[in-house]
Amino acid sequence: MAEEPRILIKDVNKEIISDLCLVCVPPEKREDPDWIKGMEEKRAWALDMLKKWGSFAKVGYVDNEPAGMIQFHPVPEENIVWIDCIYIHEKRYWQKGIGKQLLVSLNEDMKRPSEWFGNKPPSALVVRTFPGESEGQLSAREFFKKKGFQTIGDDPDFLYYPIEKKFCISTAHKKSVLRIPATG
């Protein structure tokens, strides 16, 4: 029986921004000038995100090598955290539990009070998935649904995971209209 890989999840900070950028670049493209420019642009963007939001991404490592990431940002006016992207770049890392551990780590963090939400936890995690999986890889929709995310309205790619037990979602508009029902 094959030994499970040792997975470590780290919050992105200035010291590991380069790892976040590398996760999105195929190994064979890491010397390509266009891809290098893209990594530089992502690095600048990531530094801005750190200043604006603080924690906004996590990197999953397998044996000290960056293997996957999850990016997210708070939406204080809706009391949610939006998941922008979850990505495991190389086939050898698929189906190893890296995505699951990235999501579990984010979910655990979101259960704690946050200054963005009036020193309370957010009410839910929200994501809009899209097709693009490779053969042998779970689609993003399948992944999130297996992890307990629920569909919002009629759009099978618009999903949420309630953190607050009384959280509900309304889809009166194309944009997410989120609210917490009155207790009673």
Residue 3 — pLDDT band, cuts 50, 70, 90?
low
Q: Which of residues 178 and 32 earns the better pLDDT score?
A: 32
Place of tokens 């992502």: 42
The identity of residue 30, as a single letter, is: R
Interval 165-184 mean pLDDT: 49
Cα 138 from chain centroid?
15
pLDDT of residue 135: 76
Dihedral angle sign, alpha carbons of residues 15, 21, 24, 28 = negative
Give me the residues paired with residue 11 across strands.
58
In tens, the pLDDT along 85-122 reads: 999 988 888 888 999 999 999 999 999 999 999 999 99
> Is the confidence at residue 160, as pLDDT, over 90?
yes
pLDDT of residue 184: 34
**Any residues with CB less than 8 A from the CB of 184 and at least 6 apart, and which?**
none
**Any residues with CB less than 8 A from the CB of 33 and at least 6 apart, and which?**
none
> Is the confidence at residue 172, as pLDDT, over 50?
no
DSSP state of 14: G
Work out the percent of the chain whose per-residue pLDDT is above 90.
Answer: 60
Q: Cα–Cα distance between 44 and 46 in angstroms, integer? A: 5
In tens, the pLDDT along 30-71 reads: 899 999 999 999 999 999 999 999 889 999 999 999 999 999
pLDDT of residue 170: 57
pLDDT of residue 4: 65
Give me the residues paired with residue 71 across strands.
57, 85
Residue 152 — pLDDT band, cuts 50, 70, 90?
confident
176 three-state secondary structure? coil
- Cα dihedral value 22, 133, 143, 67, nearest 10: -20
Check if the beta carbon of residue 60 is closer than 8 Å to that of residue 101.
Answer: yes
